[in-house]
Structure formats: structure tokens, C-alpha cells
Structure 1
Amino acid sequence: MKTTARYRHRLPQDNGGLFLTDGGIETCLIFDDGLELPLFAAFPLMRSAEGRRALKHYYERFTGIARRNALGFVLESPTWRASADWGARLGFSVAEISAANRDAIALMRELRDAHETPASPMVVSGCIGPRGDGYMPGEIMSEETAEAYHTLQVEAFADAGADMVSAITMTNTSEAIGIARAARRAGMPVAVSFTVETDGRLPTGQALGEAITLVDEATTNAPAYYMINCAHPSHFEGAIDPERSWTRRLRGLRANASRRSHQELNDSPDLDAGDPDELGKQYRGLVQAHPQINVLGGCCGTDHRHVECIALACKPVSATRAV
């Protein structure tokens, strides 16, 4: 039985107001909360009452920031690893993975019911991660294979009443195209978030602008907007050209506070949380330079401190635009 979505047909972030989202959920749960996440997967926590409490506590740190600052919020489900291949490695059947995705959206809806206010609309988003590694493209699927593979999560999100889908840490255009097509077929808005290396290019070597343009051309502009995640602002700020039309499609940032490369992060035994205040200032500069960017959060190594600094740094810029 399908659950009715609240914002699916009109995403409030499309109106231009500032929206926050969370930080690096997996690194927060592991390094800050001391939890074990096999294969970097957060969704198995929903199997226990203790795990669900940990997830709710994690998200409530961020929804509180949105409420205090009268900003919108995107509740991104803890399902980055909740696809068929990763689920199988964790001992989940296909049916159990589908159920876990629906349950995650139910948890996000529960959080929204508890914390949304008229000044802080909260959008429920189903998070999809890459089929392979988040840092390396590996064996790239065809667009058709990617669409078929990711349909499992997309349909679970649609049935559970999510407002949208977010494809996070995309390393290549074929997978992004497949997800965008699956979302469109399910009647779901989708945000596509690419990750880039220290040179501002995708792990495949493709330029960011070329990737966004290619996905738009292949899907007739199916994505609601694009994002960048899991890279430090210094890695990608030079790749965003305000004179290019594709840049206007870029609406969200979930950056790392660490300046380390993907390889350095992967090899490091410690957490590099960077400087939250510095990250907030870097976000402010990006939002000032690119006024269309209005969905702001963090990725690996970031927590509620970083997102609060981002909110405090960028809120005055957003308020100035609204005057």
C-alpha cells in the first residue's frame, strides 16, 4: 500500500529558501557515537530499538539547527548502502532490503512529524548510493543496467511516501542516468550528487560540467537539481563556472571538511574533521558566488558543528537575497 507524500509534486527548496541537511552520517555514528557499521552501512541499525534511537538522536541534532534558524531541512534516509548487492553482503535478502528502505522512510516521516514547523519545512528524501565503491568508478554499468538495479530502492521510497530521491556520491554518468530514469518512471523528483577528486573532476576523469550536461541530455532534464558531495570546497570551487549554463543546475553542496583526497581518506585510520568555522566561511563564499545554491550539508567527517557553522555563515546571505 502506497503512502501519500507531502512535497513530492512541489519541493519547497525549489522556491529558493535556504535548506540544510545532515552531515557525514556514517563517520558520525562510527567516530562520534562509537557504533560499528559493517561495510559503512547505517541502515542495519533500524533492526534494533537501540539502533533506531541512535539514528533519531543523530538526525535530531540537525533538525534542531534548522528549527532554531527557521530554515528548511532535507531528511536524507540512512540508506546509502541499502541496495541489493550491499544488502546481500550484509546478509539481507532482496525482500528484506526493500523493507529496510521503506522502514527508513517511515523513520524520516516520523522525525518530520515531530520537528517540522511552518518556518522549517522538512522534505523526506530517499538516499541511494553507488552500486560499487563511493570513491572509485570500478566496473561501470550501462544506463539500462543501472536503471534496473536501482529501481528496487526507488520503488520502495515511492511506496513509503518519500518526497524525492537523492543519488549521493555518484562517480560516473551512466549510473546517474539510470537512477534519474528510474526516478522519473516512478514519478519521483531526483537530485543527483556527483563526487569529484582534488582536480574538480569525477573519478572517471570527466569534467563536472560535462557530466551534468550529459545526464540532462540523456534524461531530458529529469533531475530536479544537482549537487556535489564528498570533496573539500577547494577541490571543486574552481570547477564551477558561473558563466556556464550547467552551473545553474547545481543547487546543493555536501562537502568534506577535510582537504584530504579520496585515497587519503580511505587509507586514514583517523577522522579528519577539519575546521567547522572555516568550512562555514567557504560555504558562504560559494553561496555568494552562486546564488542558486540553497541546499547545504556535509559529508565525511562533518557533524552538527559543521552544519551549524554553515547555517550561521550562509543565513545572512540568503536573507539579503530575500529582501
Structure 2
Amino acid sequence: MAKYRHALPQAAGGLFLSDGGMETALIFLQGQHLPQFASFVLLEDENGRAELMKYYEHFLPIARKHGLGFVLDTATWRASLDWGRLIGFEPDRLRAVNIAAVDLVATLRDRWETRATPIVLNGAIGPRGDGYKIARMEAAEAQDYHAFQVDIFAGTQADMVSAITMNTINEAVGIARAAKAAGMPCVISFTVEIDGKLIDGTTLRAAIEATDEATSASPAYYMVNCAHPIHFEQALERDEAWVTRIHGVRANASARSHAELDESDTLDIGDMADLSRRYSALMRAFPSMHILGGCCGTDHRHLAAICEVCMPDSGMA
């Protein structure tokens, strides 16, 4: 049974952590081969699962050390039908790895959760296409497509689902509607370009307001991921209602553009100290942003640095 599905603890406030750039860490730091950037392939054998456990267990001690909650993502960002078929996974095999992904993080919760560190199991859902390119879908098509994963997660111990690296309103709306139909709390995390806008030119404000309007505000909250803070800081406005819907940030380590990162074959870990200061500044300016993690290029070192600066007793939060 899902433990927090009917009352997400992070929705009540307080500082929560999440992990970093799973795929970049697995490839560049742990030497794993991930076809199509798909970490779910590691779930099918003992060695692969051990590598995932190793990855996760770099982060969870940070939460326990500071007595913070943790939103624990499954390794399923690419575990949807189209991406699965590209690497030879048909629906039944995909269903099995999505379930296995939840089972793995549930094992981690059993091992690491304490009263001071609630661990929320989050079914991660990625874009149908490339998150760095425009995906042309109607909302109904997106709902039908993503219902495959949402419905699987609804039958597991997953407490919620998150649509991560969304770059169009229609896809976000479709996933939110699929989650509502399945009775799953849902989070929408948009990614933006260096101008603070979605790839099709939509402002972050317009994306959040349009998604809320089309779904009767069914998402539990919103996040921003896969962009450096310098790319979206200017898009935020204090004391605006739409900004209070953003509860979390999972930024890239690098300040490079998506196009530049797409062409890079080396890991850019960025400036950890600067990134941490920017997170702290965002928290001070926008108190609703209290779920902190990373995206491409980040690892547990980034999260530890961010946590040290953003903790209430750090003197900078």
C-alpha cells in the first residue's frame, strides 16, 4: 500500500531533498551504459540494481544527517512505450521494470526512513519525445500515452507521480489528467531555455496558469528542472500567485544551454558554491520553493553543498 498518497508530507511545507542528475551520474561517475539515456535498463539484473542502490545511497545519508524529508524518484524517466520500443522493451517488459523500480525505492525507504526523514516514493515520468525539442501532441493524446505508466504506478507503493522535463502545456495537461483519473497525486516539472521560456516560447507563468486552468488545478504543485537558475530566475515574480505553485527546483549543474549540453560528451559539474548560493537566494525570495534537488550534471556533492547553505541554521537560508 502507498504510505503517503493521500497526504504528501512535502505539500505541508518544510525543507525536502531529492536526488540529482541520475542518468549523468550513472554514465559519467559510475561508468554505466544507458541506451537512449534510459536508466531503467539497470533494473533487470542484480548488478544493475546494485548500481542504482549505490547511486541512491549517496543521497539518502544527507537527508538523514540533517533530519530532512526526501522525495525518492524511480529510475523510470524513459520507461514509457515509445522509448521502450527503441531499445527492445515491449509493454509487458516495460510494465515489469516500472514495478521493479518502485519495489527498489520501497526497499530503500524501509532502510533509510526515520520519523525525522519521511521518504516519499515518486514515480518519475519523462516526456514522450526529447525534452530538449518540441513535442507536438494534443492533451488527449498525451493523456492516453502516459496513462500506461501512471496506471502502473497507481497499482504499486508509489505515493505520487512526477512529469519531469516537460516542455509543452499539452503534455503536462495530459499527464495531470491521467494522474487524476488514476487517483494519483501529480507534480508537473517544466524545463526552460536560457530565456526562461519553454522551447515553444511560452512563458513559465503561462504554462503553469494554462495547466491549472485545463486541469482544475489538479497538480499538487509544480517544479522547474533541467535548467540552471540563471536561465529562469528572471522569469519569476515575487508575490504572484502562480509562483507560489512552484514548490521545488532541480537545476542543472551547468549554465550551458540545452543545445550545448546535447552536443557535449563530457560532464560539466559547474560551480557548486555558486549554484548553492542561487538556491539559497531562490528560497529567500520565494518561500514556497522548499523541495531541492538537482538535474543534469549534479550529484550528491551538489546536494550536500546546497543543503549546507540552505538549511535554516546555515545563516544564509
Provide the TM-score with structure 2 as the length reference: 0.98
Q: Structure 1 residue 258 and structure 2 residue 259: aligned?
A: no
- Shift in Å at residue 301 of structure 1? 0.2
The correspondence for 1:45, drawn from 42, 46, 49, is: 42
Q: Structure 1 residue 201 and structure 2 residue 197: aligned?
A: yes
**How far apart in 2 are the matches of 1:304 and 1:276?**
11
8 Å Cα contact 2:237-2:243 kept in structure 1:
yes
Q: Structure 1 residue 83 and structure 2 residue 46: aligned?
A: no
Following superposition, which runs of at least 4 residues in structure 1 exceed 4 angstroms of deviation? Answer: 317-321
- Shift in Å at residue 116 of structure 1? 0.3
The aligned amino acid for 1:116 is: E
**How far apart in 2 are the matches of 1:203 and 1:71?**
34
**How far apart in 1 are the matches of 2:316 and 2:252?**
26
- Shift in Å at residue 183 of structure 1? 0.3
The aligned amino acid for 2:57 is: E
- Residue 237 of structure 1: aligned partner: 233
**How far apart in 2 are the matches of 1:121 and 1:148?**
32
Which string of whole-angstrom CA distances, capped at 9 and with x for unpartnered residues, describes residues 49-68 of structure 1?
Answer: 00000000100111110000
**How far apart in 1 are the matches of 2:23 and 2:47?**
16
- Residue 271 of structure 1: aligned partner: 267
8 Å Cα contact 1:288-1:317 kept in structure 2:
no
Which string of whole-angstrom CA distances, capped at 9 and with x for unpartnered residues, describes residues 71-117 of structure 1?
Answer: 00001001000000000111011111111111101111110000001
Q: Structure 1 residue 92 and structure 2 residue 52: aligned?
A: no
**Structure 2: 5+ residue stretches without partners:** none
**How far apart in 2 are the matches of 1:243 and 1:13?**
21
- Residue 150 of structure 2: aligned partner: 154
- Shift in Å at residue 209 of structure 1? 0.3
8 Å Cα contact 2:280-2:316 kept in structure 1:
no
Cα RMSD after superposing both structures: 1.3
Mapping for residues 173-184 of structure 1, pairs under 5 Å: 173-184=169-180
The aligned amino acid for 1:15 is: A
- Shift in Å at residue 320 of structure 1? 9.8
The correspondence for 1:70, drawn from 62, 67, 70, is: 67
**How far apart in 2 are the matches of 1:188 and 1:124?**
12
- Residue 123 of structure 2: aligned partner: 126
8 Å Cα contact 2:310-2:316 kept in structure 1:
no
The aligned amino acid for 1:274 is: G
- Shift in Å at residue 318 of structure 1? 9.4
- Report percent identity of matched pairs: 54
- Residue 106 of structure 2: aligned partner: 109
Q: Structure 1 residue 210 and structure 2 residue 241: aligned?
A: no
The aligned amino acid for 2:9 is: P
How many residue pairs get aligned? The number is 317
- Residue 186 of structure 1: aligned partner: 182
- Residue 167 of structure 1: aligned partner: 163
Partner SS for 2:242: helix
- Shift in Å at residue 15 of structure 1? 1.5
Partner SS for 2:111: helix
**How far apart in 1 are the matches of 2:45 and 2:123?**
20
Provide the TM-score with structure 1 as the length reference: 0.96
**How far apart in 2 are the matches of 1:101 and 1:144?**
23
- Residue 9 of structure 2: aligned partner: 12
The aligned amino acid for 1:132 is: G
Bigger drift between 235-244 and 49-58 goes to: 235-244
8 Å Cα contact 1:284-1:317 kept in structure 2:
no
- Shift in Å at residue 243 of structure 1? 2.8
Q: Structure 1 residue 35 and structure 2 residue 32: aligned?
A: yes
The aligned amino acid for 1:174 is: N
**Structure 1: 5+ residue stretches without partners:** none
Partner SS for 2:311: helix
Partner SS for 2:24: helix
**How far apart in 2 are the matches of 1:132 and 1:112?**
31
- Shift in Å at residue 279 of structure 1? 1.0
